Chains A and B, each alone.
Chain A
Amino acid sequence: MLINCPYCGLRDLTEFVVAGEAVARPDAHGDLDGADARAAFADAVYLRENPAGVHREHWFHAAGCQSWLLVERDTRTHEIIRVDAISAGMARETL
Chain B
Amino acid sequence: MSNNADASQQSILVPELTPRYFAPGRRGAAITPPEVTLALITDEDRFNVEARRGKSAELIAAIAKAFGVSPIDRPVTVETDGVAFVGVGPARWHTISRGEGRAGRRVRLIEAARPLATVVDVSHGFVTFRLSGPKARDALAKLAHIDLDPASFAAGACAGAALHGVNVQLRRSPDGAAFECAAPRSFAASVYHALIRAADPYGLVVESLA
Q: Is the CB of B167 within 8 A of A67?
A: no
**Contacts A7-B74, A63-B160, A63-B162 hold; do A85 and B90 have CB atoms under 8 A apart?**
yes
Size class of B's contact patch?
Answer: 10 to 19
* Residue B60 interfacial (CB < 8 Å): no
Q: Is the CB of A64 within 8 A of B90?
A: no
Complex Cα distance, B53 from A65, in Å, reads 17
Q: Is the CB of A8 within 8 A of B160?
A: yes
* Residue B89 interfacial (CB < 8 Å): yes
Q: Is the CB of B161 within 8 A of A67?
A: no
Complex Cα distance, B159 from A64, in Å, reads 7
Nearest CB in chain A: distance from B134 CB, A: 26
Q: Is the CB of A66 within 8 A of B89?
A: yes
Q: Is the CB of A65 within 8 A of B162?
A: no
How many residues belonging to A are interface residues under a CB distance threshold of 8 Å?
Answer: 16
Using an 8 Å CB-CB cutoff, how does the interface string of B81-116 with A read, 1 for contact, 0 for none? 000000011101000000000000000000000000
Nearest CB in chain B: distance from A88 CB, A: 5
Q: Is the CB of B160 within 8 A of A64?
A: yes
Complex Cα distance, B88 from A12, in Å, reads 17
Secondary structure type dominating chain A contacts: loop
Nearest CB in chain B: distance from A12 CB, A: 5
Residues of A within 8 A of B92 (CB): 65
* Residue A14 interfacial (CB < 8 Å): yes
Docked complex: B140-154 residues within 8 A CB-CB of A: 145-146, 152
Q: Is the CB of A63 within 8 A of B167?
A: yes
Q: Is the CB of A15 within 8 A of B161?
A: yes
Complex Cα distance, B146 from A93, in Å, reads 34
* Other-chain residue from B53, B159, B167 in contact with A8 (beta carbon distance below 8 A): B159
* Residue A18 interfacial (CB < 8 Å): no
Residues of A within 8 A of B71 (CB): none
* Other-chain residue from B53, B90, B152, B161 in contact with A63 (beta carbon distance below 8 A): B161
Chain A interface residues toward B at CB < 8 A: 7-9, 11-12, 14-15, 61-67, 85, 88
Chain B interface residues toward A at CB < 8 A: 53, 74-75, 88-90, 92, 145-146, 152, 159-162, 167
User: Other CB < 8 Å A-B pairs besides A15-B161, A65-B89, A67-B89, 16 of them?
Assistant: A7-B74, A7-B75, A9-B75, A9-B152, A11-B161, A15-B162, A62-B167, A63-B145, A63-B161, A64-B161, A65-B90, A65-B160, A66-B160, A67-B90, A85-B90, A88-B53
